[in-house]
């Protein structure tokens, strides 16, 4: 079992859904996990610490100082002890405190001290879950590399029907088992990712570029690093920072620099994801001084840049996986399949500028994934961090088949 011997902190917060924590603990213990329950004071109003202590076979922690022994519950030691932290149910208040780093109780200080994967399973009424502040807090937590176990649709304690019901304990355990199984698959895999735009100079002041922000590539890099892979990110100019310091980042400016950096790491990579928006053309000559405005028009002679995915695709080794991106405005599927075949890719990820909220600069994306059999998997509009998790799942499923 993938959870055998895993040390898991279960954070329980003040929601009516806290009653499900009892079953969740039983399932985790049955899987062979060592479960330490940490409750907020509000959670103790919904289910007793005695109940959860009996099921977990450990004293439940609710404060910084143990009331019976008067010893300090060391949040740093607890954060380092855990192989995973699950916060279920996670209330809107808890999500807000976690997202802002507001550490005023034992659970939130453990969260800030932890180095392990963290999963949060929201539970609240539908309007609270859909409120922009909650949506932004979830986006923030995902951007930190945390994992969302999405709430389910159904009847809520208020009597309303909608999204917000805590995921069933069986679903939460399944997600954990899948994560640790995938982590074993990804461990030691070498992943090379390109991200962001390139900037092709015209003179010392001006350059040719595009609207790519790099958000998608950086989200993918973070997802694979969190899964245990060795990630090298070749990044064009962007203001984004990686959230995982284990990611090796190579900063470049031009398409030629990106090609050279990618080529130098290509042979040793198990997976290469070409998510950068590389300029197709660059200036034939770069002026050494700023070009002055003269006359009513200016002619700029351009030459093609190296086709990075196409060139390296022709050098693909057996067992190597290559994934490309296609951003289209017309004949999307036709052009994407053609690009995948020409460049010898295993998958092509298609997004369209015709989908509002997808493509450059947005925090969200809507993708379709096409494989070499021309089978298409469509995904709904999601945050780019969630899209990165979908891409991770596709790759890890593929690796698991080998």
290 annotated as a binding-site residue:
yes
The verdict on 124 and 153 lying in the same domain is: yes
CA distance 107 to 87: 9
- Note whether 328 and 360 are within 8 A (CB): no
Residue 1 lies in a domain: no
Domain final residue pick, 184, 200, 233: 184
Supply the DSSP symbol for 288: S
| Residue 141 placed within a domain | yes
- In this predicted model, what pLDDT tens digit does every residue of 383-402 receive, in sequence order? 898 899 899 999 998 998 86
Residues 180 and 193 in one domain: no
* Calpha distance 238→157 (Å, rounded): 45
Asked whether 19 and 48 are in contact (CB, 8 A), the reply is: no
Q: Is 282 helix (H, G, I), strand (E, B) or coil?
A: strand
Q: Where are the alpha helices (DSSP H) in 131-266?
A: 132-143, 169-186, 215-226, 255-266
**Are both 150 and 246 inside the same structural domain?**
no
Rounded distance between C-alpha atoms, residue 220 and residue 145, angstroms: 10
Res 13 pLDDT > 80: yes
132-143 and 384-401 are packed helices; what angle lies between their axes, rounded to 10 degrees?
Answer: 40
Express each pLDDT in 207-246 by its tens digit: 999 989 999 999 999 889 878 899 999 999 999 988 777 8
User: Is 343 a known ligand-binding residue?
Assistant: yes
- 345 domain-assigned: yes
Same-domain check for residues 391 and 359: yes
If residue 148 lies in a helix (H) or strand (E), which one and from where to where? strand 147-148
Q: Is residue 222 part of a domain?
A: yes
354 tagged catalytic: no
**Structure tokens that stand for 366 in this block:** 């809507």
> Within this chain, do residues 214 and 161 fall inside the same structural domain, yes or no?
no
Task: State whether 135 and 203 are in the same domain.
Answer: no
Mean predicted confidence (pLDDT) in 75-89: 94
Whether residue 280 is annotated as binding a ligand: the answer is: yes
The span from the CA of 359 to the CA of 361, in Å, is 7
For residue 1, pLDDT beyond 60: no
In this prediction, residue 389 carries a pLDDT of 87
- Pairwise CA distance, residues 172 & 8, whole Å: 13
Contact 230, 270 (CB under 8 A): no
pLDDT, tens digit, 9 for 90 and up, residues 161-205? 889 999 999 999 988 987 887 777 888 899 999 999 999 999 999
Same domain? For 61 and 107 the reply is yes
Percentage of the chain modeled with pLDDT above 90: 74
Which of 162, 184, 206 is the last residue in one of the domains? Answer: 184
185: closest CA among 397, 1, 8?
Answer: 397
Last residue of a domain, one of 184, 217, 249: 184
State whether 138 and 192 are in the same domain. Answer: no
Same domain assignment for residues 236 and 171: no
CATH number of the domain encompassing residue 30 = 3.40.50.1950
2, part of any domain: no
Q: Active site residue: 210, 301, 354, 365, which one?
A: 210
Domain check: are 171 and 144 in the same one? yes
Residue 261, in any domain of the structure:
yes
Average pLDDT over residues 132-143: 94
Strand partners, 389: none
Q: Is residue 249 part of a domain?
A: yes
Residue 174 CB-density burial (10 A; 0-12 exposed, 13-18 middle, 19+ buried): middle
Domain residue limits at 104 = 7-184
**DSSP string of 102-126?**
---SHHHHHHHH--S-EEEEE---H
Helix axis angle for 92-100 and 106-113, nearest 10°, is 40
- Provide the β-strand partners of residue 303: 282
CA 179 to CA 149: how far, in whole Å? 12
H/E run at residue 163: strand 161-165
- Determine contact, residues 284/268, Cβ cutoff 8 Å: no
pLDDT tens per residue, range 300-343? 999 999 999 999 999 999 999 999 999 888 899 999 999 999 99
Same domain assignment for residues 136 and 193: no
Residue 68 Cα to chain centre, angstroms:
41
- The domain tally of the chain equals 2
Residue 353 has pLDDT above 90, yes or no: no
The domain that holds 336 is classified in CATH as 3.40.50.10300
In this structure, the answer to whether residues 135 and 283 fall within a common structural domain is no
């Amino acid at each position: 079992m993938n959870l055998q011997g895993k040390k898991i902190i279960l954070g329980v917060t003040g929601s009516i859904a806290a009653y499900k924590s009892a079953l969740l603990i039983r399932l985790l213990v049955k899987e062979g996990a060592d479960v330490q329950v940490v409750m907020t004071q509000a959670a103790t109003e919904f289910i007793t610490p005695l109940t959860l202590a009996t099921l977990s076979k450990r004293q439940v922690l609710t404060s910084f100082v143990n009331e019976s022994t008067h010893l300090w519950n060391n949040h740093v030691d607890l954060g380092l002890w855990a192989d995973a932290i699950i916060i279920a149910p996670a209330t809107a208040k808890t999500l807000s405190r976690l997202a802002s780093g507001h550490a005023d109780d034992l659970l939130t200080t453990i969260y800030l001290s932890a180095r392990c994967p963290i999963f949060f399973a929201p539970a609240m009424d539908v309007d609270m879950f859909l409120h922009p502040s909650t949506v932004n807090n979830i986006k923030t937590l995902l951007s930190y590399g945390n994992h969302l176990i999405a709430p389910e649709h159904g009847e809520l304690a208020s009597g309303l029907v909608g999204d917000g019901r805590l995921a069933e304990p069986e679903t939460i355990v399944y997600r954990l088992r899948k994560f640790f199984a995938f982590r074993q698959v990804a461990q030691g895999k070498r992943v090379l990712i390109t991200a962001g735009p390139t900037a092709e100079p015209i003179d010392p002041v001006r350059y040719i570029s595009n609207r790519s922000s790099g958000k998608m590539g950086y989200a993918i890099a973070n997802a694979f690093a969190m899964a245990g892979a060795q990630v090298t990110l070749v990044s064009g100019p962007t203001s984004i920072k990686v959230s995982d310091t284990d990611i090796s980042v190579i900063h470049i400016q031009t398409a030629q620099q990106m090609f050279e950096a990618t080529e130098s790491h290509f042979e040793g990579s198990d997976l290469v994801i070409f998510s950068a928006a590389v300029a197709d053309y660059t200036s034939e000559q770069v002026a050494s001084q700023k070009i002055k405005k003269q006359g009513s028009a200016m002619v700029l002679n351009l030459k093609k840049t190296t086709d990075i995915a196409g060139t390296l695709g022709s050098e693909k080794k057996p067992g190597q996986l290559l994934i490309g991106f296609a951003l289209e405005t017309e004949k999307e599927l036709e052009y994407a399949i053609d690009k995948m075949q020409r460049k010898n890719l295993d998958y092509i990820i298609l997004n369209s500028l015709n989908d509002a909220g997808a493509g450059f600069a947005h925090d969200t994306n809507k993708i379709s994934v096409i494989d070499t059999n021309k089978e298409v998997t469509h995904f709904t509009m999601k945050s780019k961090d969630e899209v990165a998790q979908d891409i991770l799942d596709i790759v890890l499923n593929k690796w698991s088949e080998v």
